[in-house]
C-alpha cells in the first residue's frame, strides 16, 4: 500500500512538472550565449528611453561592453583611451560596427544608475549608447561577470569573442597592449578565424540585483 502511494505521488509530481514546462513554452526557455553560435536576442532601452534590439543591427558587427561608471577599471579604459582607440579602429574598418555599453548595475535605484552614466559620458565626451539591463536578464544570459566584460558579435549575428578588453587590466601601458576587441574585429574583417575566442575577463564584479 505504501509503495503504491509513493508511486502515485511520484507520478503526480511528474505530471505537475510536465504541466509547468508545457505552460512555460519554448519561447520562455532562456538561451545562453556561446561562442560560435547565434548571440541571444535582446531588447533594452537606452538612457533616453529609446528601445534597442539586437535585431536592429542585422548585417553589422556589434561590440557589447558591460559597464559601470563607479568601477575603477571602467574609468581606466575610458580615461586612458582604450574605448576611444576601439571606436577609432571601428571607424577605419570598411564593415559597419556598432558599439553599445550595457549596464546591469542594480545596487542602487535605477534612476541613480542612469544619472551616473549620463554624467560619466559627459565628462569623458564619449558618444556611446548605454542600454539598461537593471533586472540583469541579458547580463546573466550572456554570462557577463565583470565590468568591463566584452562581447564581439559578427555581421551574421554569431558571437565570436568574449572576455577581457585588453591584456592590460589597469590600462597602464596604453597604447602598448593587445586590444582583444579590435583584434577580433580585424580577424573577422579579414575572413580569419578569431583567436583567441575567450580571454579571462578582469574588472569589477557586475552588481546584479540578486
* Spatial separation of the C-alpha atoms in residues 172 and 210, rounded to whole Å: 33
What are the beta bridge partners of residue 98?
A: 62
In a 3-state reduction of DSSP, which class is residue 49?
coil
Please report which helix (H) or strand (E) contains residue 163, including its range. Answer: strand 159-163
31-205 CATH: 3.40.30.10
pLDDT at 10: 37
Strand duo 146-147 + 204-205: pairing: antiparallel
pLDDT at 111: 97
* Contact criterion met (CB below 8 Å) for 125 and 88: no
Which cell numbers hold the place of 170?
A: 589597469
Residues sharing a CB contact under 8 Å with residue 101, sequence separation 6 or more, in sequence order: 64, 65, 66, 67, 117, 128, 129, 130, 131
What are the beta bridge partners of residue 101?
A: 65, 130
pLDDT at 27: 26
Mean pLDDT per 10-residue interval, the chain, length 210 residues: 38 33 31 94 97 96 98 96 96 89 97 97 93 98 98 97 96 90 96 97 96
* Spatial separation of the C-alpha atoms in residues 50 and 194, rounded to whole Å: 32
As separate numbers, helices (DSSP H) first and strands (DSSP E) second, the chain gives 6, 10
In a 3-state reduction of DSSP, which class is residue 63?
strand
* Spatial separation of the C-alpha atoms in residues 196 and 159, rounded to whole Å: 13
Segments making up each domain of the chain, as ranges: 1-30, 31-205
Other Cβ atoms closer than 10 A to 190: 8
The order of strands in the sheet holding 61-66 is 51-53, 43-46, 130-132, 97-103, 61-66, 150-153, 159-163, 198-199
* Contact criterion met (CB below 8 Å) for 98 and 60: yes
Amino acid at each position: 500500500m505504501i509503495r503504491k502511494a509513493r508511486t502515485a505521488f511520484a507520478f503526480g509530481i511528474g505530471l505537475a512538472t510536465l504541466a509547468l514546462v508545457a505552460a512555460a513554452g519554448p519561447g520562455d526557455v532562456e538561451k545562453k550565449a556561446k561562442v560560435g553560435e547565434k548571440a541571444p536576442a535582446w531588447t533594452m532601452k537606452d538612457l533616453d528611453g529609446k528601445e534597442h534590439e539586437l535585431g536592429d543591427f542585422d548585417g553589422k558587427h556589434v561590440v557589447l561592453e558591460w559597464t559601470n561608471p563607479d568601477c575603477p577599471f571602467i574609468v581606466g579604459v575610458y580615461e586612458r583611451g582604450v574605448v576611444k582607440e576601439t571606436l577609432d579602429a571601428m571607424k577605419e574598418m570598411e564593415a559597419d560596427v556598432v558599439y553599445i555599453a550595457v549596464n546591469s548595475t542594480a545596487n542602487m535605484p535605477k534612476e541613480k544608475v542612469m544619472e551616473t552614466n549620463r554624467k560619466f559620458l559627459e565628462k569623458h565626451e564619449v558618444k556611446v549608447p548605454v542600454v539598461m539591463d537593471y533586472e540583469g536578464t541579458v547580463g546573466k544570459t550572456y554570462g557577463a561577470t565583470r565590468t568591463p566584460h566584452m562581447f564581439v558579435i559578427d555581421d551574421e549575428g554569431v558571437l565570436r569573442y568574449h572576455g577581457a578588453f585588453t591584456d592590460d587590466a589597469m590600462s597602464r601601458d596604453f597604447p602598448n597592449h593587445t586590444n582583444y576587441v579590435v583584434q577580433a574585429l580585424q580577424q573577422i574583417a579579414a575572413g580569419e578565424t578569431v583567436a583567441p575566442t575567450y580571454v579571462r575577463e578582469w574588472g569589477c564584479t557586475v552588481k546584479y540585483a540578486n
